[in-house]
Amino acid sequence: MTGAAPLYLDHAATSPARPEVREAMEPYLAGVYGNPSSHHTVGEAAASALEESRARVARVLGMRAGDIVFTAGGTEANNLAIKGIVLAGLERGRRHVVTSPIEHESVLESAEYLRRFHGVRVTHLAVDSAGRVDAATLRAAIADDTALVTLGHANNEIGTVQDAASLAAVAHDAGVPLHLDAVQSAGWLSLAGLGADAISIAGHKLGAPKGIGALAVRGRVPLEPLLHGGGQERGRRSGTENVAGAVGLATALELAESERDSVAARVGAACSRFIAGVLWAIPQTALTGEPVNRLPATASFTFAGTSGEAVLLELERRGVISSSGSACAAGSDEPSHVLLACGIPAEVAQTSVRFTFGRDPLPDDAPERLAALVADAVRAVSRP
């Protein structure tokens, strides 16, 4: 791989826009440019494309078209779900949120905002060493005034997949809505039929551009808008809609769903070979997260006796692009809060490196060659 184009293994951070998505979006960037709220033929053409995209996204998520709120991405979708549902519940005396300590920053910071400015109690469920949330632990945490349970369907750093259906059953038994952050799992796992009341997705993880996402929230769930103005998105998210982005998101989501079973099997097999190669070649390595119930494209390791950042630099010199965890904690050199919550010591957590594969096929021998490059990079920076 050295000397060739870099091998990009940071698709959990972002993926390139697919050609089919760019082609589908192009007419709405120039030709069908109207404001979908305008009552003339140009605006109505844009509105028609927007509503068609809404219905397409809803079909994949197992929701109704009216449940879909287009957003600027996953962070906004998570903020709208958590703040919107909890703020709407305050007048009914619902002042409690249940989440976990391994969630994306947009989830944790939304809950923290509610705690600081609205006096909402926040419970962070304990997770086990693989980052799993136990249904019994969730059941014990729900109180009479719980407004929302908000959890990640699959973790963005370690790839652990939660038993969403079981967690939804617990929440519903208590009469509490469940929000799933499905930004990482969309396109890799089925999202329909899980029982979630709200689901967040982001286009740029799926092959759509950055700047478009969606929150699917069932109509029976009260939602306070965060953006006020012209009342777009059925009053739940004001602002002129990104029509081209919505078309792109719908196209990318449909493509990923149509290929999901075959692509997940192929990528999962390659990723498993890569994991086995790394664990065999580097004795001080540990795989983080659930070893079986994990995203098929995610492999995250700690390399004891190294610095994760040093390993990343060595890998880039060898033509491999990866990351040390979430790309959303800008400029942070602190150990991963996900790994700390899983019980990994801080000094070990700082050695973590995450590899996330894309959907395109790789050469047959790529997993083994990649594992060898990782081993070389780790040996180059290992402390004696």
pLDDT digits 0-9 by tens, 199-225: 999 999 999 999 999 999 999 999 999
pLDDT exceeds 90 at position 324:
no
Domain end position, chosen among 255, 274, 309: 255
Buried b (16+ CB within 10 A) or exposed e, 171-210: beebebbbbbbbbbbbbbbebeebebbbbbbbbbbbbbbe
Residue by residue, DSSP assigns 229-245 as SS-TGGGTS-S---HHH
Whether residue 181 lies inside any domain: the answer is yes
Phi-psi region of 14 (alpha: psi -120 to 50; beta: other; left: phi over 0): beta
pTM: 0.95
Band the pLDDT of 6: cuts 50, 70, 90.
confident
Per-residue pLDDT, 332: 54
Whether residue 146 lies inside any domain: the answer is yes
Per-residue pLDDT, 4: 64
| pLDDT tens-place string over residues 58-103 | 999 999 999 999 999 999 999 999 999 999 999 999 999 999 999 9
Mean pLDDT over all residues of the chain? 95
Q: Are both 11 and 104 inside the same structural domain?
A: no
Whether residue 269 lies inside any domain: the answer is yes
Q: Are both 221 and 206 inside the same structural domain?
A: yes
Per-residue pLDDT, 343: 98
Q: Are both 328 and 185 inside the same structural domain?
A: no
Q: Are both 157 and 286 inside the same structural domain?
A: no
Q: Are both 36 and 135 inside the same structural domain?
A: yes
Whether residue 47 lies inside any domain: the answer is yes
User: What's the number of domains the chain is made of?
Assistant: 2
Distance of CA 52 to the CA centre of its chain: 24
Domain end position, chosen among 211, 239, 255: 255
| pLDDT tens-place string over residues 216-257 | 999 999 999 999 999 999 999 999 999 999 999 999 999 999
pLDDT exceeds 70 at position 369:
yes
Band the pLDDT of 333: cuts 50, 70, 90.
low
pLDDT exceeds 60 at position 330:
no
Q: Does 330 or 63 have the greater pLDDT score?
A: 63
Alpha-carbon distance 348 to 210, whole Å? 33
pLDDT exceeds 70 at position 111:
yes
Per-residue pLDDT, 325: 66
Percent of the chain with pLDDT over 90: 94
Alpha-carbon distance 110 to 81, whole Å? 9
Q: Are both 276 and 140 inside the same structural domain?
A: no
pLDDT exceeds 70 at position 146:
yes
In order of 25, 50, 151, the CA distances from 43 in angstroms are 16, 11, 38
Whether residue 137 lies inside any domain: the answer is yes
Whether residue 359 lies inside any domain: the answer is yes
**CATH code of residue 53:** 3.40.640.10
Domain holding 56, by residue range, is: 19-255
pLDDT exceeds 70 at position 3:
no
Band the pLDDT of 376: cuts 50, 70, 90.
very high
Q: Are both 109 and 235 inside the same structural domain?
A: yes
Domain end position, chosen among 225, 255, 285: 255
Q: What is the mean pLDDT of residues 123-129?
A: 98
Catalytic residues, by residue number, are 328
Per-residue pLDDT, 2: 47
Enumerate the β-bridge partners of residue 302: 286, 352
Q: Are both 245 and 356 inside the same structural domain?
A: no
Q: Are both 310 and 327 inside the same structural domain?
A: yes
Q: Are both 158 and 294 inside the same structural domain?
A: no
Q: Are both 46 and 160 inside the same structural domain?
A: yes
Whether residue 286 lies inside any domain: the answer is yes
Q: Are both 219 and 361 inside the same structural domain?
A: no
Whether residue 1 lies inside any domain: the answer is no
**CATH code of residue 349:** 3.90.1150.10
Per-residue pLDDT, 331: 47
Structure tokens at 118: 């609205």
pLDDT exceeds 60 at position 55:
yes
